[in-house]
């Protein structure tokens, strides 16, 4: 199959764009300046891609926009970029803005699914195997770790962080960091438990899960102050997952989501 068979004649492609082998571009799609499109990428009808690098095997569906200018008043047209990893799917009408001079780039990892109408703002860093359900929204400078699942219509405040394998419930309004392996709900979002089922499905050893539950209880289900909780767990021989949990909380700058007031008793079952 020739290149002309893969690129629809109505597509508009900047002459300097680098197209890998087997790239397919649908009707009326626009690939603007400073683009590098990896092998096997599929770009649907009416999609817009500019100032972006798209990894091998990724798919960008109709009316999605990748690498478009940041929605930030301090942006003055500087040349920045968006980077999409391998085998990532960006569905209809989703938007991924490029970075500002703050970092120069917006990054989305490998094997992600960004569902319809979702938004990834400037300077965000999204890890691998992340799922954003319909209309999930990231403000600027958000960090999303590997394996995070975001429910539909949730929103994350600028500069917040979502820890590894966190699950953000549909409609959650996340104003602070979410600890790894935790689940959230509500406006403002509060912690509703550990993602125990997900951890078991991922094959986490029983010893590691037990240690993670113990650390979770120390921070979220005890009457200890924050510094008392850190003193109790730091210095102990923790498995990697529990250490990741503690280190994440220690490094938080915005503060982190906690259980809803009065909800500790109902949460306890999730940590058993």
5 is catalytic: no
Task: Name the 3-class secondary structure at 114.
Answer: strand
Of the candidates 26, 140, 147, 151, the residue annotated as catalytic is 140
Which member of 26, 57, 67, 123 is catalytic? Answer: 123
Query: DSSP code of 199?
Result: H
Residue with tokens 């259980």: 259
The rounded Cα 23 to chain-centroid distance in angstroms is 25
Residue 251 CB partners (closer than 8 Å, separation 6+): none
With contact defined as beta carbons under 8 Å apart, do 82 and 52 qualify? yes
Phi and psi at 216, nearest 5°, equal: -55, -45
**Residue 249 CB neighbours (<10 A):** 21
Handedness of CA 264, 144, 124, 15 (dihedral sign): negative
Cα-based distances in Å from 71 to 44, 76, 96, 132, 169: 24, 11, 11, 20, 26
Cis previous bond, 20, omega within 30: no
d(CA 9, CA 7): 6
Active-site residue, selected from the candidate residues 46, 61, 119, 122:
122
Q: Tell me whether residue 36 is one of the annotated catalytic residues.
A: no
- Backbone phi, psi, residue 199, to 5°: -65, -40
Strands 137-138 and 143-144: unpaired
- Is 72 assigned a catalytic role? no
* CA 229/CA 97 separation, integer angstroms: 39
Residue in the block written with tokens 């890890």: 127
* Active site members: 122-123, 140
């Amino acid at each position: 199959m020739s290149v002309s068979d893969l690129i629809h004649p109505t597509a508009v492609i900047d002459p300097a764009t680098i197209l890998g082998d087997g790239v397919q571009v649908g009707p009326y799609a626009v690939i603007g300046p400073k683009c590098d499109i990896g092998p096997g990428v599929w770009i649907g009808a009416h999609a817009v891609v500019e100032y972006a690098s798209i990894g091998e095997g990724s798919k960008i569906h109709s009316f999605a926009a990748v690498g478009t200018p940041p929605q930030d008043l301090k942006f003055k047209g500087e040349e920045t970029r968006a980077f999409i990893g391998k085998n990532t799917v960006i569905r209809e009408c989703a938007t991924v803005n490029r970075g500002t001079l703050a970092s120069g780039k917006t990054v989305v990892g490998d094997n992600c699914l960004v569902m319809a109408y979702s938004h990834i703002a400037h300077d965000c860093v999204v890890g691998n195997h992340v799922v954003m359900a319909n209309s999930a929204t990231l403000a600027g400078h958000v960090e999303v770790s590997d394996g995070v699942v975001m429910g539909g219509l949730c929103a994350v405040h600028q500069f917040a962080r979502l820890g590894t394998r966190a699950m953000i419930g549909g409609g959650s309004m996340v104003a602070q960091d979410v600890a790894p392996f935790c689940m959230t709900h509500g406006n403002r979002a509060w912690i509703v438990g550990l993602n125990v089922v997900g951890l078991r499905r991922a094959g986490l050893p029983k010893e590691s899960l037990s240690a993670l539950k113990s650390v979770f209880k120390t921070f979220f289900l005890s009457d200890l102050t924050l510094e008392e909780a850190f003193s109790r767990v730091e210095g102990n021989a923790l498995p990697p997952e529990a250490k990741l949990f503690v280190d994440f909380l220690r490094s938080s700058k915005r503060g982190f989501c906690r259980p809803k007031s009065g909800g500790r008793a109902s949460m306890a079952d999730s940590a058993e």
